[in-house]
Structure 1
Amino acid sequence: MHGYQLAFTTPTQAPRWQRWLVFSPVARIAFFVLLVVALSMVFWVIPHGPADSLLIKGLREFGFRAVVPLLAYLLLVKLIERRPVAELSLRRLAPDGALGLVAGALLFSAVVGVLWLLGSYHVVGTHPDAHWLVAAVTVGLGAGIGEEIMFRGVLYRMTEEGLGSWIALLVSALFFGAVHLNNPGATLWAGLAIAIEAGILLALIYLVTRSLWVCMGLHAAWNFVQGTVYGIPVSGTRADGWLVSTRSGPDWLSGGVFGAEASVVALVLCSLTSAALLVVALRRGNLVPPRWRR
């Protein structure tokens, strides 16, 4: 007896041309990309100038990072899939979002704790005037909402519909790692580490919970705690943290200039968490087989 759920299935009465050009995963991914491009153009026409405050610039960045993909996703679901957006149900926002926030904060704190015990993480001062609000809006919520919509809500979910959970896990994780290769200080190892520790972990969270709120909360808290609390670069981006810190030791341990996400400590702890989630998914029968086996 299976326990898997699919948010969308192609209507059985749909003609053949609609199955390929409207309802297929590839077609819907293409629609999503076009909607993102169109909505992004709207944000470009909003006037701004060199005198804009840091917060205004942060809000504009939040619009591009989070509001655009969220609106594109809602339009896709309502206009093409024509179903309730169960994975973004408002009644699940508070409990699922809180669960994700707590999990993300605890998981990254565990990474820092192990690095400190191994003599790699050092606090050298404090910075109480750090721009935490801008970081929370952009690197935290902006990245958490936008990237989870794109990589779990769209890429993972739609790949899973056709090719099943195993291939969807691999594809979404590889793409997630690949987009981080453009970040400052990124290496092939950093991209692979992001793919394994975050790409697979976040996809498994969606697989088990079928809630994007949990994924968004964990992603946002991980980024915020990493940069604003512990003062560690977030995927290569310099952090303005409450704690002023340094990391020592070889790059495979400290993560180097990319940050602790490229550390073997983060890789191991996140992989252990992923393994536990996979066990839960297997016991519940959550894994979706490919379409030709359903």
Structure 2
Amino acid sequence: MNGNRILFDEHGRLRSGLRFAFFALTFFFALALSGSLAWLAAFLLAGRSAEATNHLLAGPVGLIVQSVIMLTSATLLGWFCGRIFENLPFRALGWDLRPGWWRDLLRGSALGAASLFLAVIIAWLAGSVRFAANHSSSSANVLRTLLLTLVTFILAAAAEEATFRGYPLQTLLRSLPVWIAIVPSSLAFALVHLANPHAAPGFTLINTFLAGVWLSVAYLRARNLWFPLGAHWAWNWTQGAVLGLPVSGITRLTESSLLRTQEVGPDWLTGGAYGIEGGFACTLALIASTIVLARPSRLTRSQGEISAR
């Protein structure tokens, strides 16, 4: 009896922490399996050359493939967990095309771009960044970069939103106070980014965790994934394709950006080779943007949500 109370709540549902753990473990297994199959397929297409395969997967095509795999795995597994553990329909994940979904996407996009610009402006006011036109790339290459990264960053952001603000966050929100429920997925979001190139000690973990909190609050404002998706992709696209800054340490996708932003200040402020996300200017911008979003009346559980502990 006591064992059952530890595993299940008074409604007979598996407790939220165990639901979270089940999703995480199953997701990583599915991702590893799908990723291995994708690498094998790319290996065969690349003429059975491991070097050519790795080169292919390191570019935009590889990121798109990885994002599609991640998005599909997180969405299907999130639907499956919601169905078997909490008897929830697919629309509970937040991807349904309910009235106004596109307005949430546009508003989120405006928020993401504005928040990124705020971080850069803070660094600029401190005399730590300079802007210049990109004269080293042709107009055709700049346009191609803007359009290709538009697709790439939307898919990558959708994959991460489904993974971190999808079922794992939502199932904890149905049983825990908001500011406790958002910690596990935000911390996981931060830890994953530590593997990125030029990760800045301290600030990478802190700022990516704050970004996870910011995007979680964005989800809570709209109760769908379209709003945080907009904020996420627009932040990355503005940062990389428009301003020419590294996106979490990655530069290979935006070599022909619209502008060239040169960092001339201390790394602790600008983020250095990791990009603005690795500096204190980003910390201030994320805190400010989260405060604007975090209206207490909008962050309480809606009456229609189930109570599943």
Q: What TM-score do you get using the length of structure 2 for normalisation?
A: 0.76
- 1:208 corresponds to 2:208: no
Give the Cα–Cα distance (whole angstroms) in 2 for the partners of residues 214 and 246 of structure 1. Answer: 31
Q: Tell me, yes or no, if the aligned pair for 2:64 and 2:156 is still in contact at 8 Å.
A: no
| 1:283 and 2:268 are equivalent in the alignment | no
Instruction: Find 1:252's aligned residue among 260, 268, 285.
Output: 268
Residues 292 and 210 of structure 1: CA distance in aligned 2, closer, same or farther (over 3 Å): closer
Q: How does 1:11-160 map to 2 (within 5 A)?
A: 14=12, 19=14, 24-47=19-42, 48-49=45-46, 50=52, 56-78=61-83, 81-84=86-89, 85-86=91-92, 87-91=94-98, 92-126=100-134, 127=137, 128=139, 129-130=141-142, 131-138=145-152, 140-160=153-173
Paired residue type of 1:206: Y
Please give the secondary structure, in 2, of the residue aligned with 1:90: coil
In 1, the alpha carbon distance for the partners of 2:101 and 2:30 equals 24
What whole-Å deviation, never above 9, does each CA across 1:131-185 have from its counterpart, x for those lacking one?
Answer: 33332233x1132111111111133223333443222222222222211111111
- Tell whether the 8 Å contact from 2:186 to 2:212 is kept in structure 1 after alignment: yes
Query: Which amino acid is the alignment partner of residue 168 of structure 1?
Result: A
Encode CA deviations 1:176-221: one digit per residue, 9 max, x unaligned.
2211111111133222332343111111111232111111111011
Q: Judge conservation of contact 2:27–2:73 (CA < 8 Å) in 1.
A: no
User: Is 1:266 aligned with 2:282?
Assistant: yes
Could you tell me how far apart the structure 1 residues matched to 2:308 and 2:29 are? 31
Q: Given the superposition, is the C-alpha separation of residues 97 and 83 from structure 1 closer, same or farther in structure 2, using an over 3 Å criterion?
A: same
Q: Which amino acid aligns with 2:148?
A: V
Structure 2: which amino acid aligns with 1:242? L
Task: Report the CA distance shift for 1:292/1:74 in structure 2 as closer, same or farther (over 3 A).
Answer: closer
Deviation at 1:284, TM superposition (A): 4.2
Counterpart AA for 1:88: W
Partner Cα distance (1:59, 1:178) in 2: 22
* Cα deviations by residue, 1:29-85 (Å, 9 ceiling, x for unpaired): 434444444544553454532497966445424323434433433444456544232
CA drift at 1:226: 0.3
Say which is worse superposed, 93-102 or 54-63, in terms of deviation.
54-63
Q: 1:188 aligns with which of 182, 196, 201?
A: 201
How far apart are the structure 1 equivalents of 2:225 and 2:75? 11
TM-aligned CA deviation for residue 112 of structure 1: 2.0
CA distance in 2, matches of 1:285, 1:168: 12
Gaps of 5+ in 2: 1-7, 47-51
Identity %: 27
Structure 2 Cα separation of the partners of residues 133 and 46 of structure 1 = 26
- Residues 20 and 166 (structure 1), Cα distance of their counterparts in 2 relative to 1, 3 Å cut: closer
| 1:5 aligned residue | none
**What SS does the aligned partner of 1:245 have?**
strand
Aligned to 2:5: none
2:3 matched residue in structure 1: none
CA contact (8 A) 1:104 1:222 kept: yes
8 Å Cα contact 2:74/2:159 also seen in 1: yes
Larger displacement relative to structure 2 (234-243 or 120-129): 120-129
| One-letter amino acid of the structure 2 residue matched with residue 30 of structure 1 | L
